[in-house]
Each structure stands twice: as C-alpha cells, then as structure tokens.
C-alpha cells in the first residue's frame, strides 16, 4: 500500500494540536472547496484534505496512524505485524488496500458499525433581536432574520438566511431569551434538530427610562406651573392621561402614576414616575420681562437662605 502523509496534506507538524489541525483543515477546505476554487484539481485536493482530517481529528485514528512511523508520501509499504494484529480490520491483506479505506475500516472496527449510525443532535444557536418598548408593552409579533450555519456534503459550513416570526410574551424583559424549539442546526442520522434562542435587546427610548417594571419620564414644568399647580397631559405607553400637579412642585419630585409601567408575567403592572424638572423660558417678551421684575420686587422668597446658617435646606 502507498503511504499518505496526512500531516503534509494539511500543512501541519506531527506535533500539531487538535485545534491547529482543525484550523488548518478549515482554511484549506475553504480554499479548495469545489464551489469556490478555480483550481482544476481543487476537488481532488479537497478530498485529500478531507481524508487527512478524517484520520487526524480522531485521537484513536491519529494514534494508529502515528504508529505507522514516518516515510515519504506515496512510498509503498506494509504495516508492521504488530500494527496489523492490534488494529485488525478483517482485511485479508494490505498490498492493494488504500490507506483511507484501511482507516475507514479501522474506524468501524474500533467503534462498531452501529455507532456510525447513532443519531446526533443539531447545534443550538443564539441570535439577538432589537425590540422597542412599545413592542414589549403590546406583546407584538416581530420578524427575525438570521443567517445560520448549514453544512454541505463536504462538511463545510455555509450561512443560510432564515426568517422567523415570534410573539413577544407578556412580561418580557431586556435580555430575556426565547426558545424556538427545533429551529437550530439540523441533526444527523435522525437526531433531533437544535434550538434557536432569541435574546431580546431593548432599544433606548427617547422618553422613558426603564427600571425593572417601572418607567421614569422627565416632566418639564414652567415656573408658574410649579408654583401655582397645573393639570398636564402625560404620554404613557397605553395612551395620554391627565396628571394633576399640586402647587409648590419641586425639581426632582416624583409624581406617581400607578399601573402605567410594564406588565409582569404574573399579571402585575409597574408604575410610571413623572420626574419634575423646572424649565425656564430662554427668551421673554418685554411684557413678560416686566412681570418677572414685578414678581422679584414683591417676593421675599430666598432659595439660598440656608447658606447663612450652613445647614441643608
């Protein structure tokens, strides 16, 4: 039989690790894949690479191969008797046996033919879906596009586009994973397909800040609204509501709107907090200027009175 230097075929040293062998195989397999390579001998080289990897990726086969020793690629040789006895494959002789056939037979002898047909489960995959606060609040159905690896007849992975539609469940939270059973990698030998896990990533909202099931909204008030009180319209995820602001509102004060936050899986609903911000006009008319001057003259309010005592307000 002719000796085949599998290490030379993959371009690695005989001391290469399993990861180095796998990396070399993937690089060469991609280079000489029949769908990619322009080399007229690409398919032949691809088969040689696949044969070499099939022998070296298995610790048992690699150990058996290494026991054959070193010799030039293509040299005629006969495996030593102890090798034949230890790794007997049931073949009557070796003169006309191809080394790849020998190792295929060796693999069957070592593992048993039934193991070759054992069902293997498919791989699980994870993708991230960007979702809005409104979609989570309403439990909308969304469409997910994902490119998942699929393996061709040569064992080379290709990314294939898939589209899925999922409904965001009530109580979904940022980072929560949804499981799509059987939508991952295909199983082998009748094995079950893997699962696809969709991780929900909540997009930042221009109005609301999320804290668990509660929402926070900045509520700008004019100085006179804060002093006199006002009825203001507040946007919520479920629609606009009217909120009464009592006289004397202060910056940072939290006004509570119960059950206007996000729902939980148990049916409870969070709170929306309107956080008071005192906003002042950047420009004023002459009439407004006069009114503010009258107010300043008439009022004895001093917001810095605590400075004199050195105590907190």
For β-strands 214-221 and 230-236, DSSP reports them as unpaired
Contacts of 242 (CB under 8 A, 6+ apart): 231, 232, 233, 234
Place of tokens 């009180």: 229
In contact, 161 and 232? CB cutoff 8 Å:
no
Rounded Cα distance between 31 and 46, Å, is 9
pLDDT of residue 91: 41
d(CA 188, CA 126): 20
Q: For every one of its 313 residues, what pLDDT tens digit does the chain have, with 9 covering 90 and above?
A: 677 888 998 999 999 999 999 899 888 887 887 667 777 887 788 888 888 888 888 888 888 888 888 888 877 766 665 555 554 444 433 444 455 555 554 554 444 444 445 677 888 899 999 999 999 999 999 999 988 887 766 556 678 899 999 999 988 899 999 999 999 988 877 788 899 999 999 999 999 999 999 999 999 999 999 999 999 999 999 999 999 999 999 999 999 999 999 998 888 999 999 999 999 999 999 999 999 999 999 999 998 888 888 777 6
Determine the pLDDT at residue 267.
86
Predicted local confidence at residue 246, as pLDDT = 97
- Nearest Cα to Cα of residue 217 among 259, 268, 249, 257: 257
**Tally: H helices and E strands in the chain:** 11, 11
| Residue 61 CB neighbours (<10 A) | 19
Distance CA 270, CA 173 (A): 13
Q: What is the pLDDT of residue 245?
A: 97
Can you read off the two tokens belonging to residue 7? Answer: 């290490």
pLDDT for the residue numbered 55: 82
Predicted TM-score (pTM) of this structure:
0.61
pLDDT at 1: 66
d(CA 168, CA 136): 6
Distance CA 60, CA 54 (A): 11
H-helix or E-strand spanning residue 225: helix 223-228
* pLDDT of the residue at 177: 94
């Amino acid at each position: 039989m002719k000796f085949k230097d599998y290490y030379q075929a993959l371009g690695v040293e005989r001391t290469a690790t399993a990861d180095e062998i796998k990396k070399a195989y993937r690089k060469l397999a991609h280079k000489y894949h029949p769908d990619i390579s322009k080399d007229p001998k690409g398919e032949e080289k691809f088969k040689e690479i696949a044969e070499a990897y099939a022998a070296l990726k298995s610790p048992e086969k690699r150990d058996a191969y290494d026991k054959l020793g070193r010799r030039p690629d293509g040299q005629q040789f006969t495996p030593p008797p102890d090798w034949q006895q230890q790794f007997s494959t049931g073949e009557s002789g070796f003169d006309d046996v191809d080394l790849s056939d020998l190792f295929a037979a060796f693999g069957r002898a070592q593992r048993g033919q039934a193991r070759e047909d054992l069902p293997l489960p498919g791989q699980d995959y994870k993708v991230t879906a960007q979702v809005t606060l409104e979609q989570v609040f309403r439990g909308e159905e969304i469409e997910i596009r994902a490119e998942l690896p699929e393996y061709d007849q040569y064992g080379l992975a290709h990314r294939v586009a898939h589209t899925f539609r999922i409904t965001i469940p009530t109580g979904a939270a940022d980072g929560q994973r949804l499981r799509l059973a059987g939508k991952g990698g295909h199983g082998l030998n009748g094995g079950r397909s893997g699962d696809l896990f969709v991780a929900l990533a909540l997009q930042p909202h221009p109005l609301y800040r999320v804290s668990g099931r509660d929402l926070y909204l900045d509520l700008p008030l004019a100085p006179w609204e804060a002093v006199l009180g006002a009825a203001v319209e507040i946007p919520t995820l479920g629609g606009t509501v009217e909120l009464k602001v009592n006289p004397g509102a202060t910056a940072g004060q939290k006004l509570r709107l119960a059950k206007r936050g996000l729902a939980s899986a148990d049916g409870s609903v969070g709170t929306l907090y309107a956080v008071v911000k005192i906003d002042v006009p950047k420009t004023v008319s002459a009439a407004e200027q006069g009114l503010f001057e009258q107010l300043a003259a008439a009022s004895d309010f001093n917001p810095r009175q605590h400075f004199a005592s050195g105590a907190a307000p």
